[in-house]
Structure 1
Amino acid sequence: MGSRFKRILLKLSGEALMGDQGFGICPNMLTYVAEEVRSIVELDVQLAIVVGGGNIFRGVAASSFGMERTSADHMGMLATVLNSLALQDALEKKSVQTRVQTAISMHEVAEPYILRRALRHLEKGRVVIFAAGSGNPYFTTDTAAVLRAKEIHAEILLKATKVNGLYDSDPERNADARFIKTISFMEVLERQLRVMDMTAISLAMDNQLPLVVFNLKEKGNIQKVVCGEDVGTTIGR
């Protein structure tokens, strides 16, 4: 079984590392994600990862109870660094060479984000985790994932979620929610389907970056997507 892609960007939400806990990082989930990632690295795929921070701190939620949005977003960026370092440790325990690069300088714990260095790591077979979003407040880690994917010339962006893909309404609230197999960027925008924020979808559409949304919790799903199997929802032109 071989990969359809040479270079991929994987977007993980912070909640993906939370497992069934209400908060923080679940060690078992971290190990599970690391094992899933290793399964595609073994296919000689060049892989970059963007991790969210919602399991620790969510800037938008904090700003809704009175915190200044810029401060809240900076705290959210730092939360993504915690997740990235935890994921790096879990991957290296699985013998996967990994580098964390941050959009906010913190030389003692991670490399600064330098595109040419990131590309060199990828070419050498290392997994690169991009932390601290884009380094800018008011932009989500989804938008950062699309931005980084284009910068490194990834062929596709994989968004790992807790549901099987895209539905026409929230499947956790609506039992009659219908699964969507393929959809265009414009339709996602027009119907305001909350798979990613509108800025991220618009950026992906403008730069023709295809997305696949799939369920992370089903073992082997990442490898299936990478090998071209019919998993999740594809968003494209």
Structure 2
Amino acid sequence: MTDSSSPTDPEVAKPVYKRVLLKISGEALMGGQQYGIEMDTAERVAREVSAAVTSGVEVCLVIGGGNIFRGLSAAAKGMDRAAADYMGMLATVMNALAMQTALERIGVPTRVQSAIPMTTICEPYIRRRAIRHMEKGRVVIFAAGTGNPFFTTDTAAALRAAEMGCDALFKGTQVDGVYSDDPRKNPDAERYDTLDYLEVLARDLKVMDAAAVTLMRENAIPIVVFNIHDKGGLARVLAGQGRATVIGKRPELPAG
């Protein structure tokens, strides 16, 4: 059976991006569970990534840790903020290893690089090595955030996207773009097809934290927000066809 996101599908055009960073939340791996990792869900996301790699796109990932531990929430309940954030970073390493397993089960070579060295289970973050991995067709998963407390995984994703020279940062969410309010709670929420970085900040749209949006603006890297649960959705937005919100400049499609 051919996946609908397969690059052989005539309805999906060739990608207009060469190298991208995909940021997904830890909650995207929960599936129908209340917490933790549902491997069927991880494998479905892995198939989306596999289709992108097969089409010739170089892919790196950052995965949040909210399905296991939220540092900010723990700090709000009295835990030391720095300690709580470090625990959250460890949760992202667990998610990265789970996604690596899911990807390699379907034949996609993958490397996990951690900003906090833990060489027994993964590589330390080395920028030039990460770039070389992607040039060889491997997926690289960046774990442990920036390696510092008080920074979110959104900021880590923006930082790595800039360091890797990515053409775009793809934010896989639970809905098909950016809305003025949560469309799952407010049916009258307005959906945006395109936004400027400053509009996101001025309207406080909560797509990513302000530091991440500012970093993308300074490096002129567009943010593409789409539904990670839409089968074949990643392939379509990579081709500039899918339903998504683009923050920044949308790439020009090839002539013809």
What is the TM-score with the length of structure 2 in the denominator?
A: 0.91
* Residue number among 67, 72, 87 corresponding to 2:99 in the alignment: 87
Q: How does 1:192-207 map to 2 (within 5 A)?
A: 192-207=204-219
Residue correspondences, number: 237
Show structure 1 runs of 5+ residues with no match. none
Match of 2:252 in 1: none
Match of 1:74 in 2: 86
2:44 is equivalent to residue 26 of structure 1: no
Cα distance per residue 1:37-93 (max 9 Å; x no partner): 111110011110011100000111110000011000000000000000000001000
2:50 is equivalent to residue 12 of structure 1: no
How far is 1:118 from its partner?
0.5
Q: Distance in 2 between matches of 1:91 and 1:230?
A: 23
Q: Distance in 1 between matches of 2:188 and 2:243?
A: 21
How far is 1:199 from its partner?
1.1
* Residue number among 209, 226, 230 corresponding to 1:214 in the alignment: 226
Q: Counterpart of 2:221 in 1: which secondary structure?
A: coil
Match of 1:233 in 2: 245
Show structure 2 runs of 5+ residues with no match. 1-12, 250-256
How far is 1:209 from its partner?
1.1
How far is 1:178 from its partner?
1.0
Q: Distance in 1 between matches of 2:187 and 2:90?
A: 36
Query: Which residue identity does 2:208 align to in structure 1?
Result: M
How far is 1:125 from its partner?
0.6
Query: Which residue identity does 1:179 align to in structure 2?
Result: R
Q: How does 1:1-237 map to 2 (within 5 A)?
A: 1-236=13-248
Q: Counterpart of 1:107 in 2: which secondary structure?
A: coil
Segments of 4+ in structure 1 off by > 6 A? none
Q: Distance in 2 between matches of 1:175 and 1:124?
A: 45
RMSD: 0.8
Q: Distance in 1 between matches of 2:85 and 2:212?
A: 17
Q: Counterpart of 1:153 in 2: which secondary structure?
A: coil
Cα distance per residue 1:157-214 (max 9 Å; x no partner): 0000001110011112211111111111101100100111111111111221100000
Query: Which residue identity does 1:156 align to in structure 2?
Result: A
Aligned residues of 2:74 and 2:84 also touching (Cα < 8 A): yes
Cα distance per residue 1:111-154 (max 9 Å; x no partner): 00000110110111100000001101111000000100010100
How far is 1:14 from its partner?
0.3
Query: Which residue identity does 1:196 align to in structure 2?
Result: M
Query: Which residue identity does 2:24 align to in structure 1?
Result: L
Percent pairwise identity = 54
Q: Counterpart of 2:216 in 1: which secondary structure?
A: helix
How far is 1:230 from its partner?
3.9
